[in-house]
Amino acid sequence: MTNIVVEEPQQASAAAALPRRRRWRHPRYYVTVAAFLAPSAIPLLLLVYYPMVQAMWTSLHDWNLIGPKKWVGIANYEVLLTDFGTARIFWHSAQYIIGYIPLVFVGGLAVALALNTALKGRNFFRGVYFLPVVTSWIAVSLVWKWLLNPHSGAVNTVLGWFGIEGPGWYIDPHWAMPSIVVASVWKDVGFVMVILLAGLQAIPAEIEEAAILDGAGWWRRLISVTLPLLSPTTFFVLIISLIGGFQVFDQAYAMTAGGPNDATRTVVLEIYDLTFRYGQAGMASALSMLLFVVILAFTAIQLVGQRRWVHYA
């Protein structure tokens, strides 16, 4: 963890000098740690980890929810890992992430930077950009299907002005996932903006001012000062977007219901259908275990890699 690098540089060098293992702490320290962690750890243990263990147990069974569970061992996993369809739904979730994360981050960053300056009406704009975030997916999906209507929608009409023939969007299997990505980016730019704004505001003003006095233009400042100091927040946005992106469900459910031709069938959509519509809760649990492992792997890579590019104060 980075805290080792930042927090205890003396310890590191001290450790190099003396054969001391770790710093001794009074037992009361650990009691304090436990007390601070308990209010969140206990609910999480009871209401997330315990159900997770149950889901693991369920994954070894065949279960339609309403009858008894039937032991099948690792049969569910065998089916999932040998069926090409499994790779395909993971690929769909991956497609979403590959499209969504860069776009929503760049968009959110641009807006956050713009609205962090002394711009007139800045608070108004912050409110407007946040509107889509608080709008429900039912309303958003209707509106976006209007916009992306291949024949009469605003998007294709505008493209037509530039002589581009717009694609079939949510009707075309190749464009359905991009449609969902576009709608999701639109909806979440405000979310990213809010988080990045909080991060930008934590950057002490004098550092920016010092850079300006040094004659750095805005691009230079951005690259050398702002972004590095913003990196903890950027890291946060990346991890959250990754974890959330792999679990994309609401928009795939509301806009395309997994279609057309299963082109937008994401992992969680499949899990939901398996559990509540196809009576295969055991298979669904096994699939969610696979998903968990995948997300964990990606997150672990990020956590380990943060040392390279995340600067903590």
Partner 1 sequence: MPDLRMSGARTRTPQPGDEVQKEHSGRVGRVILIMAVSLGAVMMFFPFLWTVITSFSSGLGLSAKPSLIPQQPSLDAYRILFLDLPFARIIANSLAIALVVTFAQVLTSALAAYVFTRMPFKGRGVIFALYLATMMIPGQVLLVPQFVIMKDLGLIDNYLGVLLPSIATAFGVFLLKQGMDAVPRDLDEAAKLDGASHFQTFLRIVLPNTGPSIATLSIFAFMGSWNNFLWPLVILRSEEKQTLPLALAGLQGQYTTNWDVMMAGSVISILPMLAIYIFAQKYVVRGIASTGIK
Partner 2 sequence: MKHSRLLQIGVITAIAGLVAGCSSTTDDASSGPDDSAAAAPVTVTYSNFISNGGNEDNLDKIVAAFEKENPNITVEVTTLPYSDYFTALQTDLVAGTQADVFDIEFANYRSYVESGVAAPIQGVDTSKYRKALADSYATDGVQYALPTSFSTVVLYFNKDLFDAAGVDYPTADWTWEDENAAAAKITDKGNDIWGDYQPFTYNEYYKTVAQAGGSFLSADGSQATFNSPEGIQAAKFLVDKVGNTMPAAGDASTDSDADLFSTGHLAMWHTGIWMFNSMQEVPFNWDIVVEPGLTQQASHLFSNAVMVSANSKEIEAATKWADFLTSSPAMVEARLASSWELPPVADDAALSAYLTQGLPENRQAVFESLDGVAIAPSIGANQAQMADIVTKYLGEAAAGRMTVEEAVKKSSDEVQPLLPSK
Q: Interface with partner 2 by CB under 8 A: which residues? A: 64-67, 145, 149-153, 168-171, 173, 259-262, 273, 276-279
Q: Is the dihedral of CA 258, 262, 267, 270 positive or negative?
A: positive
Tell me the closest approach of the beta carbon of residue 273 to partner 2, in angstroms.
8
CA dist 10 and 12 (Å) reads: 5
**Beta carbon of residue 235, minimum distance to partner 2 (angstroms, whole number):** 36
Count CB atoms within 10 A of the CB of residue 137: 18
Nearer to partner 1 (CB atom), residue 263 or residue 268 = 268
Smallest distance, partner 2 to C-beta of residue 243, A: 24
Q: Using CA atoms, how far apart are residues 263 and 261, in angstroms rounded to an integer?
A: 5
144 binds, among partner 1, partner 2, none (CB under 5 to 8 A by kind): partner 1
With CB under 5 to 8 Å by kind, the binding choice for 74 among partner 2, partner 1, none is: none
Q: What is the closest distance, in whole angstroms, from the C-beta atom of residue 46 to partner 1 in the complex? A: 7
Q: CB of residue 55 vs partner 2: minimum separation in angstroms?
A: 13
d(CA 99, CA 182): 9
Q: Residue 102 has which token pair?
A: 């860069």
**Closest to partner 2 by CB, 173 or 228:** 173
- Closer by beta carbon to partner 1, 98 or else 142: 142
CB nearer to partner 1: give 38 or 174.
38
| Binding at 222: pick from partner 2, partner 1, none (beta carbon under 5-8 Å per type) | none
Q: Give dist(CA 207, CA 85) in Å, integer.
A: 52
Question: For 73, left (φ over 0), alpha (ψ -120 to 50), or beta?
Answer: left
CB 233 within 8 A of CB 195: yes
3-class state of residue 61 by DSSP? strand
Q: Name the binder of 8 from partner 1, partner 2, none, CB < 5-8 A by kind.
A: partner 1
User: CA–CA separation, 270 vs 253, rounded Å?
Assistant: 10
Residue closer to partner 1 (CB basis): 91 or 146: 146
